[in-house]
A = this chain, B = another copy of it.
Amino acid sequence: MNIGEIASRAGVSRSTVSYALSGKRSVSDATRKRIQDVIDELGYRPNAAARALKEGRTRTIGLVIPPASRRLTHMQLGFVASVVEAAARADLDVLLSPSGGDHDRSFERLLSGGRVDGVILMEIRLEDSRVRRLQNAKLPFVGIGHTARAHEMCWIDVDYATVINQCVHHLADLGHTRIALVNRSVELMAAGYGPGHRARDGFTAALAQRGIQGIDLECGDDAAAGLVCATRLLREHPDVTAIATINEAALPGIQRGLEEAGLNVPGDFSITGVVGRTWAEEFRPPLTAADVPAQDIGTQAMDLLLERIADPTTPFRNILLAPPVSLRGSTGPVRAT
């Protein structure tokens, strides 16, 4: 069932049906009604591929998420949810591509001719070949995260350096002088994952500013790894009294590790995190954390993308967010010994 079928049943030409639907030219009320009746009766829906072919756009955007094997953090989930919601508001569909590596077939297809009108890229590494390939494909795209060369693309990102810097200052203000940074996984760090490296930079800078010492740890992205990491930290560095982390997924495990070691939070030990807003409250005790407005970030990424799709020649815009640290129950003054 195609537009020709509708046209012949309504006794008009195909172009008239098209104009009746799009309203781009005038069609008499009588004709329009006749056409609409036929359409309603047959349940006709215009073929999306044909329309996309002719119009040269698909009204679909691609969203590149971390590979399915890796569980999304709450923050990433917030990004995905808000991008999807923003796309729905703009009457756009979202094509999901779970791909991290270079030669991911799903990513290949995204690049392929006219599959999507634009792409939002998540979990970007400092050196990320996907960026170059999107540029080569001349596909408008926006990053949630950015590469080492900030100027080469349009992005929105959390300022992990500043955020971790603030966390360390907060802990130092409370008297902590031995602080550990629990970073993302060894693999991600080795792959040059931006937030991890920027967090490390912010951590090192803050330590220097306060003249205190820190332990820099990498930790797998799940609760089990967090438990192992916390346990080892307490054993190998018993003088550490606080953790700052950007590793959301490890947090429950870190907490469990502290608990199993008989440490009370915040009485004996302090933790700060960087987590999606609304999630910090779900910890016990509620987590002192930089509350990342994941909803806003997804929405703004979508806005940036729409802008680029509308006019691909606009200069790249970069948005860096450094949400302040919200004080909750997981940090306190260092215990008097």
Contact = CB atoms under 8 A, between A and B. Distances in A.
Interface of A: 43, 45-50, 52-53, 58, 60, 63, 68-69, 71-72, 77, 81-82, 84-85, 88, 91, 93-99, 104-106, 109, 111-115, 136-137, 223-224, 252-253, 255-256, 259, 281-282, 284
Contact of A85 (B98, B137, B224): B98
15 contacts: A43-B136, A45-B112, A46-B113, A48-B58, A48-B109, A48-B115, A49-B49, A50-B113, A52-B52, A84-B96, A88-B105, A95-B96, A96-B96, A253-B282, A255-B284
A106 B77 contact: no
Contacts of A113: 45-50
A71 B60 contact: no
Q: A-B pairs with the 5 shortest C-beta distances? A: A68-B85, A49-B52, A47-B113, A45-B112, A49-B53
Interface centre among A43, A47, A53, A93 (most CB of B within 10 A): A93
Contacts of A58: 48-49
Given A53-B50, A68-B88, A84-B68, A45 B111 contact: yes
Given A49-B113, A60-B95, A255-B284, 9 more contacts: A48-B112, A48-B114, A49-B58, A68-B82, A77-B77, A88-B98, A88-B105, A223-B282, A253-B282
Contacts of A253: 282
A114 B97 CA distance: 20
A94 B96 CA distance: 6
A82 B45 CA distance: 30
Contact of A69 (B52, B85, B252): B85
Nearest to A295: B68
Contacts of A52: 49, 52
A95 to B, nearest CB: 5
B72 A93 contact: no
Contacts of A256: 284
Contact of A284 (B69, B85, B259): B259
A60 B281 CA distance: 38
B282 A252 contact: yes
A45, A49, A223, A282 — which one has the most chain B CB atoms within 10 A of its CB? A49
B98 A95 contact: no
A118 to B, nearest CB: 15
Contacts of A224: 281
Nearest to A279: B223
Nearest to A249: B282
A82 B84 CA distance: 18
A222 to B, nearest CB: 8
Contacts of A106: 88, 93
Contacts of A98: 84-85, 88
